[in-house]
Amino acid sequence: MSDQHQRAASGCYGHATVKTPNIDGLARRAMRFTSTYCNSPVCVPSRGSMITGQYAHTHGAHILQDALRDDIPTIAHYFRERGYATGAIGKMHFVDETRKHGFDHRLNEQSFHHTLTAEERTKLAGDAGGIEGEGLDLPERFFEDNWFADRAVEFLRANKGKPFCLWASFVQPHTPFRPMKKYFDMYEPAKMVLPPRPADDLTGGFEGHLIRAKERGWYQQTDAAARQSLAGYYGNVSQMDANVGRVYDALRELGLEKNTVVVYTSDHGEMGGAHRMWTKHNMFEESVAVPLLIAVPDGANGVKTQMIEQIDLFPTLTELCGLGAVNGLAGRSFAELMRGRRYAAREFAYAEYWFCRNVFTKDDRYVGKAPLRMVRTDKWKLNHLPWGRSELFDVVGDAGEFRNRIDDPGVAGVVRELTAIADRQFIQ
């Protein structure tokens, strides 16, 4: 798993510039899903939803500062109770790291920092919100994901003779966009192709996105600076891809691919300069759509276009591993889809974003208000705000999500229908 990987930013998803040979190699052996959505476009609630199979309004870790409660069953508890060794190596964003959530073997970012001296730590990548693209000419051991990959390989070797559930979670390609120099140098900033950036972007929808983009200086960013940022982001993606390869190669060298389900995904996307924004905290496709690859021993490969939510991973993996169905989850298994059998696909994907303190706007004006709720169908996306200006996009005719149709009387029925779904999902 990675952090903040835009679904489109991989070779296997059709990107012409980003170099992801290891993820692409996994994709050739896996089922690749083209319509997978995180359940909250920010780290903590998204990860909480993935491991619990519940929406944020149920598991309670709404914003970046919320620790996931330790009394909620997780996928790790489920597998551990059935004799699996459980490991979580890398960035989990549990907030309170004393809570292991069923993962017996736990190495986090603090574990890595202990490998460096205080002086060495000052040379690390820096501000977690920084978007200035730059390659760092430092040895491999200064980069935490390299260390996490090595520790994940050690876990595989130590547990190769018994059932295991390993969550190997990398920090990249999350900001700051400062990868190892050799990965940054794979991309020439001047040649980066920017997404559309109209001068009046964000003016027709929820005001908060425009306020945030201007407060952070993104809206005013020059095209040259945006290309530099994009080169840094792509460098982060390629460095993360190399670490995915280190873990997956070890798994295959140990012969474990013959009886192991392998999943690659990310907790949310990255705006990558689209709509003059970076990072996430919104419901645009760049932010809420995620990559998903699943390789099953002797299973089929190919492409699936059905709508998937990340809360569906928990029940799907238990079934793929022959452990049966899990009751009481909001997520629903798509194991039958993986097996090529009859499957009733979701008609929509749902996500919610609770406004985070110290991150969304400087004055926290939206913190504590009801969350922004997305309902995404094959044709429409509603971003519903009960107290503010909602957005409706025709994602077929307006794939870039530039024209807010919320005031169009011709689609009033669509708005009513999707709003009812948003309300219903929120009370489940």
Do the domain assignments include residue 282? yes
> Is the Cβ–Cβ distance between 285 and 323 less than 8 Å?
no
For 267-334, the DSSP string reads SS---TTGGG--S-SS-SHHHHEEEEEEE-TT---EEE-S-EEGGGHHHHHHHHTT----SS-SS---
User: Residue 97's pLDDT is what?
Assistant: 86
User: Residue 327's pLDDT is what?
Assistant: 92
User: Residue 125's pLDDT is what?
Assistant: 63
User: Residue 427's pLDDT is what?
Assistant: 84
Do the domain assignments include residue 361? no
Domain range holding 130?
Answer: 11-347
Do the domain assignments include residue 15? yes
User: Residue 144's pLDDT is what?
Assistant: 96
User: Residue 63's pLDDT is what?
Assistant: 96
Helix (H) or strand (E) holding 27: helix 21-29
- How do the pLDDT tens digits run along the chain, 428 residues long? 999 999 999 999 999 999 999 999 999 999 999 999 999 999 999 999 999 999 999 999 999 999 999 999 999 999 999 999 999 999 988 888 889 999 999 999 999 999 999 899 888 767 777 899 999 999 999 999 999 999 999 999 999 999 999 999 999 999 999 999 999 999 999 999 999 999 999 999 999 999 999 999 999 999 999 999 999 999 999 999 999 999 999 999 999 999 999 999 999 999 999 999 999 999 999 999 999 999 999 998 999 999 999 999 999 999 999 998 999 999 999 999 999 999 999 999 999 999 999 999 999 999 999 999 999 999 999 999 999 999 999 999 999 999 999 999 999 999 999 999 999 999 86
Do the domain assignments include residue 296? yes
Alpha-carbon gap, residue 41 to 270, rounded angstroms: 9
User: Residue 98's pLDDT is what?
Assistant: 87
Alpha-carbon gap, residue 416 to 412, rounded angstroms: 6
Torsions phi, psi for 173 (to 5 deg): -90, 20
Report the CATH number that the domain containing residue 128 is assigned in CATH. 3.40.720.10
Q: Which residues fall within 8 angstroms of residue 262, CB to CB, at 6 or more apart?
A: 26, 30, 248, 251, 293, 294, 295
User: Residue 124's pLDDT is what?
Assistant: 79
CB hemisphere CA count around 391 (13 angstroms): 25
Helix (H) or strand (E) holding 86: strand 85-90
Token couple for 157: 């070797």
Alpha-carbon gap, residue 229 to 134, rounded angstroms: 8
Alpha-carbon gap, residue 365 to 10, rounded angstroms: 36
Domain count, the chain: 1
Do the domain assignments include residue 333? yes
Would you say the pTM of this structure is higher than 0.95? yes
Calculate the dihedral angle through the C-alpha atoms of 30, 32, 37, 41, rounding to the nearest 10 degrees.
Answer: 70
Alpha-carbon gap, residue 298 to 28, rounded angstroms: 13
Do the domain assignments include residue 216? yes
Q: Which residues fall within 8 angstroms of residue 182, CB to CB, at 6 or more apart?
A: 135
